[in-house]
Structure 1
Amino acid sequence: MQAASATAPATLPAPLTGVRHIVVLRPCAVGDFVFALPALAALRATYPQAHITLLGRAWQAELLAGRPGPVDEVRVLPTVPGVGAPADAVEDTAAVTALLDALNARGVDLAIQLYGGGGYANPFLLRIAARHRIGLRAPDAPALDRTLPYVYLQNERLRLLETVGLAGAHATTLDARLAVLPDDLAQAARCVPMDDAKPLVVIQPGATDPRRCWAPARFAAVADALAEAGARIAVNGSEAERDRVRAVITAMRADALDLATPQLSLSGLLGLLSRATLLVSNDTGPLHLAQAVGTASVGIYWFTNLLISAPLAAARHRHAVSLQVHCPVCGRENVTAHCGHPASFVDAVGVDEVRTLALALYREELARG
């Protein structure tokens, strides 16, 4: 159904009536999914009897299977150009048709687009025969029944909360969590056996964007300070980040566990982070996972990323922020454009600042017990 106005109302509406099935479009990376947790929690609290289907990626289906939370099921989204896949990808027409037929046969009362400005996502959402469709909308995207303007450099958690508010779903928590399962802890224990003698600190030196990566030698200096304070150090990274993990460990004076070889599963990483006293990390998925299981963290951010991804509950999180705007290689401004150079924009953050933040928070956590 298409309303006369496709803009957000002046005041948030009351919850919709007769909502039994909600479909949420969010086929994203790990950190981006964590950003959506407060919005999903608001939907669950507002529509406790509704079945919530997340259209996501295979990793989301694997991680959320059997995990208590606001989502009842994950349906893996087939290849849709621009929606969890490159814009020039070829749509898997048969699989997409089968998914839409299954959703429409079941009946969808509310479909929600939480995947960017909607240039590609809104046309896809309009293929779902829902009674109500809401979501984000950039100026060039098709209208839905109710939309929230998509504007760059806004806190993503707040943006998504405001979006579900279009359906009368109001925030119940700013610090929504992921449940930790016994299997998560068992997987973590197989990789990093329990050691009650030393508190565990995890170092995360990688990120998908090299501009967000602090130098390995700097992470090593902070890790050594934490080791001297009594911590057991583990350095985590993906397969693509193995060289960066090894560079940190090689530069350290203290011993450290290498978690890039063999690699933890995402479930095992969740379990390990829940055991950790502290995480020191670039702005990347494990940082946001740590926040989602209640682990204290020190995040090293480029200022634009902090605007977008800062947690809404700050008591156990600290931020070290780089205000560098121009590329250290070519001098071009990179806030509104990317020059293409892989140079770090966060190496402007000093070791002393991160070390001071990390040691203070580590000691606070030990005192907290």
Structure 2
Amino acid sequence: MLRLSALGDVCNLVPTVRALQRQWPELRITWIIGKGEHSLLSGLSGVEFIVYDKASGFSGMRALWRELGDRRFDVLLHMQQALRASALSLGVKAEVRIGYDKARSKDWQHWFTHRQLEPHPRAHVLESFMDFARALGVDPAITGCPEWNLPIPETAYAEASRLTGETAYALISPCANPRLRNFRNWSAEGYATVIEHLWTQYGLKTLLSGGSSSQEREMGERIRALAASEAVIDAIGKSSLKGLLALIDRADVVIAPDSGPVHMANALGTPTVGLYATTNPDRAAPYGWRDFVVDRYPEAVRTYLHKEPDEIDWGERVRHPDAMALIQAEDVIERLDVLLASRPDATTMEPPHEV
């Protein structure tokens, strides 16, 4: 298997691994994966990882080819639509090389494969990955029941406990990957309003998570300046990826834009509210929590692309800095209330002070 990135995508790929393992328990699976993504999934049962550091460029590619040496594989599942991944695949010796059908293929991926998937228009990302298992003949009953079983070591839970103690909390990961023209981040003001609601109505503190980039730290500072200090646990830049998994696993609910944490939460079965305006949730929402997405993508398409959603390519992004402003705090609170009302202790919860 070849899939280097990203965090959310590799989480969505794990059910394909589990489907293959359920069909053929003795199957040997080797996964060529990115460095950061490996730190998230390391220890995944029944999988040998070969790690490629994307920052290493061509020298790292040649080192990986040397590592593969004379190894031969029955099948290469080429699951990354990127020229870098296709170039990397040249060092993989496989009898059969399977890639996406031409409608889903990008960057000339079909030039690097022998066989393409059957067309699957308007597929969710997880379903697109599962198509590789279907192409190999995995039982439809298996592919229709996604499983994850992500490994979380006790050291990760200890790391989480150092940040939260025994406190009940919601987890907000306010920022998506800080790359050029990503435009997936919501407002600090919106998050602060949601944090106040969680605190006053449910007695839930909010743990802010994220990496150590300047964008993420600045967003955290703005949110903390607007929210009650007693309602916030600042964990931005303070956890490993395994630690973040543990934090998500113990959270009552996760709120985030289209980014790794919503898919990590989905994989762990943690209730999830995804915030979507610039990406299509029908393609990329947290798979098990699609009914709880705040979806302003159709409105964003009409407002900023001046088209109807069915007039654009599947999965096309709305790359406009104002698109996420279409999401209102009331939209998020309404989804949260539905989720939190179903908790076993919801009827006994009392707010921590008068509203």
Q: How high is the sequence identity, in percent, across the aligned residues?
A: 22
Paired residue for 1:145? 114
Answer yes or no: is 1:358 the counterpart of 2:336.
Answer: yes
Q: CA offsets, 1:218-263, max 9 Å, x none?
A: 1111111111121122111222201111211211135311111x52
For residue 239 of structure 1, the aligned residue among 209, 212, 215 is 212
Paired residue for 2:76? 111
Answer yes or no: is 1:99 the counterpart of 2:76.
Answer: no
Q: CA offsets, 1:134-156, max 9 Å, x none?
A: 12243743152321278896411
CA distance in 1, matches of 2:266, 2:286: 8
Shift of 1:41: 1.3
Contact residue 208 and residue 235 of structure 2 kept, 8 A: yes
Contact residue 278 and residue 323 of structure 2 kept, 8 A: no
Contact residue 169 and residue 205 of structure 2 kept, 8 A: yes
| Higher mean C-alpha deviation, range 48-57 or range 138-147 | 138-147
Whichever residue aligns with residue 211 of structure 1, its letter is F
Whichever residue aligns with residue 333 of structure 2, its letter is R
Paired residue for 1:200? 169
Answer yes or no: is 1:163 the counterpart of 2:142.
Answer: no
Paired residue for 2:326? 348
Answer yes or no: is 1:188 the counterpart of 2:184.
Answer: no
Contact residue 321 and residue 346 of structure 1 kept, 8 A: no
User: SS at the partner of 1:32?
Assistant: helix
CA 1:259–1:58 in 2, change beyond 3 Å: closer, same or farther?
Answer: same
Shift of 1:313: 2.4
Q: CA offsets, 1:27-55, max 9 Å, x none?
A: 00211111111211112222321221111
Q: CA offsets, 1:99-120, max 9 Å, x none?
A: 334435233111110102x655
Q: CA offsets, 1:292-318, max 9 Å, x none?
A: 111111111126331221233238x61
For residue 256 of structure 1, the aligned residue among 195, 220, 232 is 232
CA 1:291–1:157 in 2, change beyond 3 Å: closer, same or farther?
Answer: same
CA 1:340–1:179 in 2, change beyond 3 Å: closer, same or farther?
Answer: closer
CA distance in 2, matches of 1:57, 1:152: 28
Counting only pairs closer than 5 Å after superposition, residues 334-345 of structure 1 correspond to structure 2 as 343-345=321-323
Paired residue for 2:199? 227
User: SS at the partner of 2:231?
Assistant: coil
Contact residue 41 and residue 173 of structure 1 kept, 8 A: no
User: SS at the partner of 2:292?
Assistant: strand
Q: CA offsets, 1:5-26, max 9 Å, x none?
A: xxxxxxxxxxxxxxxxxxx100
Counting only pairs closer than 5 Å after superposition, residues 292-303 of structure 1 correspond to structure 2 as 292-302=267-277
CA 1:172–1:236 in 2, change beyond 3 Å: closer, same or farther?
Answer: same
For residue 305 of structure 1, the aligned residue among 280, 297, 303 is 280
CA distance in 2, matches of 1:53, 1:188: 30
Shift of 1:69: 3.2
CA distance in 2, matches of 1:152, 1:56: 26
CA 1:153–1:172 in 2, change beyond 3 Å: closer, same or farther?
Answer: closer
User: SS at the partner of 1:365?
Assistant: coil
User: SS at the partner of 1:207?
Assistant: coil
Contact residue 215 and residue 347 of structure 1 kept, 8 A: yes
CA distance in 2, matches of 1:287, 1:350: 19
CA distance in 1, matches of 2:131, 2:256: 28
Counting only pairs closer than 5 Å after superposition, residues 9-24 of structure 1 correspond to structure 2 as 24=1
CA distance in 2, matches of 1:280, 1:268: 17
Provide the alpha-carbon RMSD of the alignment. Answer: 3.0
CA 1:352–1:278 in 2, change beyond 3 Å: closer, same or farther?
Answer: same
CA distance in 2, matches of 1:327, 1:91: 42
Paired residue for 2:45? 69
Q: CA offsets, 1:153-197, max 9 Å, x none?
A: 6411111111232112341622534232212201111222223xx
Paired residue for 1:173? 145
Paired residue for 2:353? none
Any stretches of 5+ residues in structure 1 without a counterpart? 1-23, 79-83
Whichever residue aligns with residue 362 of structure 1, its letter is L
Shift of 1:90: 5.3
CA distance in 2, matches of 1:125, 1:219: 42
For residue 19 of structure 2, the aligned residue among 42, 47, 66 is 42
CA 1:224–1:204 in 2, change beyond 3 Å: closer, same or farther?
Answer: same
User: SS at the partner of 1:280?
Assistant: strand
- Given the two structures, how large is their TM-score scaled by the length of structure 1? 0.78
Contact residue 61 and residue 88 of structure 2 kept, 8 A: no
Whichever residue aligns with residue 10 of structure 2, its letter is F
Counting only pairs closer than 5 Å after superposition, residues 312-327 of structure 1 correspond to structure 2 as 312-314=287-289, 318-322=292-296, 323-325=298-300
User: SS at the partner of 2:288?
Assistant: coil
Shift of 1:338: 7.4
Whichever residue aligns with residue 271 of structure 1, its letter is A
- Given the two structures, how large is their TM-score scaled by the length of structure 2? 0.81
